Amino acid sequence: MSKNKINQKNIKLVWLRRWTMENKVQLQINMLLHKDFVPFAHHISKPFRNIAKIKTLGHCLNLLAAHLLLLHYLYLASSSLLCFFQSGLYAVVWLHKSRLKAPPPL
């Protein structure tokens, strides 16, 4: 065998080893995420259900932070709407009670 062919074989082996190592690490990350998130998949929104799209733990944490922020904003919006409707309800009840009172004597 010529020296050139041996070098090409070595390069292919190194590339193959690196490729299998990266895939093993990726597989371990996917298995970890799969184990942690799939039992709660019906509670979690769509991006979390497709585990294959989550490439790294950092990506997973970014998605989790985005969802928590969204839930926080939904909570704030719902509480402010609740206050708005509650104050409107108080105003309606107050107007209704004021109409039920007897008119002032002449």
43 versus 17: the higher-pLDDT residue is: 17
Q: Specify the residue for token string 């895939």.
A: 23
Q: Tell me, what's the pLDDT at 86?
A: 72
Q: If you search the block for the tokens 């002032």, which residue do you land on?
A: 104
pLDDT at 44 over 50: no
Q: How far is CA 13 from CA 5, 18, 22, 26, in A?
A: 12, 9, 14, 20
Distance, in Å, from the CA atom of 62 to the CA atom of 60, rounded to the nearest integer, reads: 5
User: What local confidence, expressed as pLDDT, does residue 98 receive?
Assistant: 66
Report CA-CA distances (Å) from 32 to 26, 52, 53, 64, 86: 10, 12, 14, 15, 46
* Low-confidence winner among 31-35, 43-47, 61-65, 76-80 (lowest mean pLDDT): 43-47
Running DSSP on this structure, what letter comes out for residue 42? T
Q: How far is CA 77 from CA 2, 43, 45, 69, 82, in A?
A: 73, 21, 19, 12, 9
Confidence of residue 20 (pLDDT cuts 50, 70, 90): low
pTM (predicted TM-score): 0.31
